Copies of this chain bind each other. A is one copy, B any other.
Amino acid sequence: MRVVVLTGGVGGARFLRGLKALQARPGQSAPQISHITAIANTGDDITLHGLRICPDLDTVMYTLGQGIDQDRGWGREGETFTTQAELSAYGAGPDWFGLGDKDLATHLIRTRMLDAGYSLTDVTAALCKRWDIGISLLPMSDERVETHVFIEQDGEKVALHFQQWWLEHRAGIPALGFANVGADQAQPAPGAIEAIQECDLVLLAPSNPVVSISPILAVPGIKEALQAKTVIGVSPIIGGSPVRGFADACLAAIGVQTQAGAVAKHLGAKADGGVLSGWLVDDVDADQVQDLESFGIRAKAVPLWMSDVDATAEIAREALALAEGIR
């Protein structure tokens, strides 16, 4: 079977690593995965020091290419930050974005290729050649679709780039809402719609629903393409808290409770024009399964902590099993 995964950065990359492990060792009960396509959020992308940086694409690439810093979850293993320290010594900010020396090579090549007229899709494919990631990795769009965060400042509503809100302020300034700047003019990356149309299953990685999954769904055509597909999501919320990051601050801004079930309902049941066919919640959220089922979303409670690759492969297996039960 062909699988498409919509993904953000760290959590999504780890989920993909588990899915790849399942592909390599499917066991008796799981269907054989023939191909994985990841469509990654590029709403977090930012230009710093003249360099185009795509954090989610890079996190997926480095994670699947065995180049990731395992502890941090982002950036390169054995990374150093010499250039960044020098930029700061020159007074050239910002200092809230970790720009590693190894990572810089990726941004230099990407920027140079983009400046030469290549699309982000082509650039991503070129960079991935080195990393031999074993899946097809696509940006959600070749056009710039940037997530901006509205905050109140001196009584005025102003917009920050997502990265500044997330990294400099650590999501500590209450968000009034989010905008996917450029989404209405954007097209899905070449091959993204085709990958969805030709796949047997779409998975939503356990990524931030507001600033990772939602920007992908905001690219015209993607949500529509999902309608004809079985779509299984993995909850990024366990026991009322985000597995990682500040999803709670994001959900609060759009009036959604930080609960596995609430996020699923926000994404919506397919029968009601929403996205989801099914939704995996963690065992601690088993009490929300019944409610989701009556809402029209098939649900199951399984262990959702991606503590290692095997545990993550098991989550992926449960997602495939839930999909089997639906079709």
**Chain A contact residues, CB within 8 Å of chain B:** 49-51, 80, 82-84, 86-87, 89-92, 101-102, 104-106, 108-109, 111-112, 115, 127, 130
Pick from B50, B91, B105, B109: contact of A112, CB below 8 A: B50
Pair A108/B80 contact, Cβ less than 8 Å: no
- The residue of chain B having its C-beta at the shortest distance from the C-beta of A78 within the complex is B82
> Which of A83, A89, A130 counts the most chain B CB atoms within 10 A?
A83
SS of A interface (majority): helix
Pair A83/B109 contact, Cβ less than 8 Å: no
Pair B130/A105 contact, Cβ less than 8 Å: no
- With a cutoff of 8 Å between Cβ atoms, the chain B residues found around residue A82 in the complex are 80, 82, 101-102
Pick from B84, B92, B104: contact of A109, CB below 8 A: B92
CA distance A115 to B108 in the complex (A): 15
Pick from B50, B92, B109: contact of A90, CB below 8 A: B109
CA distance A36 to B80 in the complex (A): 38
Q: Return the 9 tightest CB-CB contacts between A and B, nearest first.
A: A86-B105, A82-B101, A50-B112, A87-B105, A83-B104, A49-B108, A101-B101, A86-B102, A83-B105
CA distance A130 to B180 in the complex (A): 39
- Smallest CB separation, A92 vs chain B (Å): 5
